[in-house]
A and B are shown apart, each in its own frame.
Chain A
Amino acid sequence: SYELTQPPSVSVSPGQTASITCSGDKLGDKYASWYQQKPGQSPVVVIYQDNKRPSGIPERFSGSNSGNTATLTISGTQAMDEADYYCQAWDSIAVFGGGTKLTVL
């Protein structure tokens, strides 16, 4: 079965750039999406189709996907960006990565 691998945790200082990776076999041949989930809340899509931002998502969120790795980049990270982030792709079924806890400190 298809698997997506994320680092369990990433730390970043306020105002710096955070990068969260998602690895999967030939992931670049698929579209990757990214979801943000804050404690006690439902997930929210922040990136879809590799690099598209839904309306209302700040420009500091961007995405890329090539080869075996998709990357979510948060530029000028703010305290409000502290959350769990999940990558997701379709391989006949929907597959989620294990999630990455982003800490802003």
Chain B
Amino acid sequence: EVQLVESGGGLVQPGGSLRLSCGASGFTFTNYWLSWVRQAPGKGLEWVASINQDGSEKSYVYSVKGRFTISRDNAKNSLSLQMNSLRAEDTAVYYCAREWYSNGRHFDYWGQGTLVTVSS
């Protein structure tokens, strides 16, 4: 069974930093692209960042470029999102999602999410 379990969310002050983690199991981790997708309270889904199988390709939504860094540890089956210079508008539930990338691309499994609240 595919499982994605996020952790690391919490309350942080504006300008602060937080590191999210996502532990994966039930599939061959090194075969898949992975992404972070967020959802602000009462709002829609917003893709944040993606990383390829060996970590050599990364992409970000414009609003987080230069502040967030996506990374993965294939030895530990773990995905991370380092978030710096956090703003109130970064407040959201952050989901880890596996990408199915073959003749098309979609998010086929999602974690349960971890809440990040940026507030003073």
Contacts and interface: CB of A to CB of B under 8 A. Distances in A.
Which of A37, A43, A95: most chain B CB closer than 10 A? A43
Chain B, interface residues (CB within 8 Å), range: 20 to 34
A86 B108 contact: no
A49 interface: yes
A87 B3 CA distance: 23
Interface residues of A, number: 24
The SS class assigned to the A binding surface is: strand
Contact of A49 (B95, B106, B107, B110): B106
A49 B47 contact: no
30 contacts: A35-B45, A35-B107, A42-B110, A42-B111, A42-B112, A43-B110, A44-B110, A45-B106, A45-B107, A45-B108, A48-B104, A48-B108, A49-B106, A84-B44, A86-B44, A88-B106, A90-B105, A92-B59, A93-B47, A93-B50, A93-B61, A94-B37, A94-B105, A94-B107, A95-B47, A96-B44, A96-B46, A96-B47, A98-B44, A99-B44
Contacts of A54: 108
